[in-house]
Amino acid sequence: MDEKYLIIFGNNLRAERNRRKLTQEALANLAGLQMQQISLIENGKADFKFSTLVNLMKALNIEFDKLFSLKNDI
């Protein structure tokens, strides 16, 4: 995945997590992921599998386009 999209996704994920007042640990637990993986994704440092994306979308009950929006106004 292109680095700029990883950064956009990570920023949007962080914004949505913060909007919901979740810690990285809480989101990781909801999504069945490791907290370190959430940190890497939010910082645009992790290329991830489609299944990880689906787990995050389910955990946040959010649609694909919100996490990949070029506007950071979730």
pLDDT surpassing 60 at residue 73: no
**The domain made up of 3-67 is a member of CATH 3.40.50.360:** no
**Helix residue ranges per DSSP H, 1-74:** 3-19, 24-31, 35-42, 50-60, 64-67
Confidence of residue 74 (pLDDT cuts 50, 70, 90): very low
pLDDT surpassing 80 at residue 4: yes
- Once rounded to an integer, what is the mean pLDDT over residues 1-7? 83
What residue ranges do the domains of the chain occupy? Answer: 3-67
Look up residue 73 and give its two tokens: 């106004």
Q: What does the alpha-carbon distance between residue 74 and residue 35 come to, in Å, rounded to a whole number? A: 22
Distance from the first to the final alpha carbon of the chain = 22
SS3 43: coil
Residue 70: the pLDDT is: 74
pLDDT in tens, 11-68: 999 999 999 999 999 999 999 999 999 999 999 999 899 999 999 999 999 988 888 8
